[in-house]
Amino acid sequence: MINVAIDGPSGAGKSSICTEAARRLGFVHVDTGALYRSIAYSAIKSGTDTNDEDSLRTLLASAKIELKFENNEQCVILNGENINDKIRTEEVSLKASDVSKIPMVRAFLLDLQRELAANGNILMDGRDIGTVVLPDADVKIFLTASPEKRAERRYNQLLEKGEETEYNNVLDKLIKRDYQDSHREIAPLKPSEDSILVDTSELSFEESVNRIVEIIEEKL
């Protein structure tokens, strides 16, 4: 049973690169950002003030989060509802970054992530997988790219989805989110000492996937 931990900032292409790498290797890909997003979505939908401990506790107590894998695609099921297509908006992204700073939220998701990793050959991506969630992972990779490249990719994705936005706006939000994710008190985004750095700024999607698969295969 192999555990691969892949961490890195938003927009480095982690999700799509990891999905394809896992498919080629026959591993299950767990995208842990979706778990933080599902809590953010739930808070927005219910109008919960996540800074209020009691309200947050009530929200978490009623949040039944499950991950299902269909044709290699991860589906996040929140209280019986598949919310995959509702958690990728800018509003949910910012709220996810906010809730991910809260210790109660991180503790709530920690067990769930470890249970998922115990289920077989897993490639898990996030921010603190190699440092906190799976410190004994067999392979640890830190996947990154320059902020400008990441903003450019995100901007193009938003345009494709028909969302109107400006490049500078996307870049500003990305820098804000990077700052929040890497300066929070618990489990900040940082490469673990034993991780292998992969910078995708100058790599195509195919080249990025090849590099990840190569690193993992070397360790198998």
Residue 127 found at the interface with ligand DC (CB under 6 A)? yes
Which of 25, 29, 33, 134 contacts ligand DC by CB under 6 A? 33
Least distance (Å) from ligand DC to the CB of residue 132?
8
Residue 140 has φ and ψ, to the nearest 5°, of: -125, 130
Residue 154 found at the interface with ligand DC (CB under 6 A)? no
Residues of this chain, 39-78, that bind ligand DC according to CB under 6 A:
none
Q: Is the CB of 50 or the CB of 97 nearer to ligand DC?
A: 97
Structure tokens at 82: 């598949």
Query: Of 64-72, 126-134, 135-143, 209-217, which segment contacts ligand DC by CB under 6 A?
Result: 126-134
Q: Is the CB of 25 or the CB of 129 nearer to ligand DC?
A: 129
Residues of this chain, 78-97, that bind ligand DC according to CB under 6 A:
96-97
Which of 126, 171, 173, 208 contacts ligand DC by CB under 6 A? 126
Buried b (16+ CB within 10 A) or exposed e, 172-196: ebbeebbebbeebeebebebbeebb
Residue type, 81: E
Please list the residues that pair with 123 across neighbouring strands.
4, 29
Q: Is the CB of 103 or the CB of 217 nearer to ligand DC?
A: 103
Residue type, 85: D
Q: Is the CB of 31 or the CB of 214 nearer to ligand DC?
A: 31
Residues of this chain, 177-196, that bind ligand DC according to CB under 6 A:
177, 181
Q: Are 128 and 134 within 8 A, CB to CB?
A: no
Structure tokens at 89: 């908006």
Residue the block writes with tokens 């490249």: 149
Structure tokens at 47: 């109008």
Residue 13 found at the interface with ligand DC (CB under 6 A)? no
Q: Is the CB of 136 or the CB of 218 nearer to ligand DC?
A: 136
Structure tokens at 160: 């494709």
Residue 36 found at the interface with ligand DC (CB under 6 A)? yes
Q: Considering CB under 6 A, how many residues would be counted as binding ligand DC?
A: 14
Residue the block writes with tokens 């295969």: 217
Structure tokens at 195: 């991780």
Considering only CA atoms, give the Rg of the chain: 17
Q: Which residues bind ligand DC (CB under 6 A)?
A: 10, 32-33, 36-37, 96-97, 100, 126-129, 177, 181
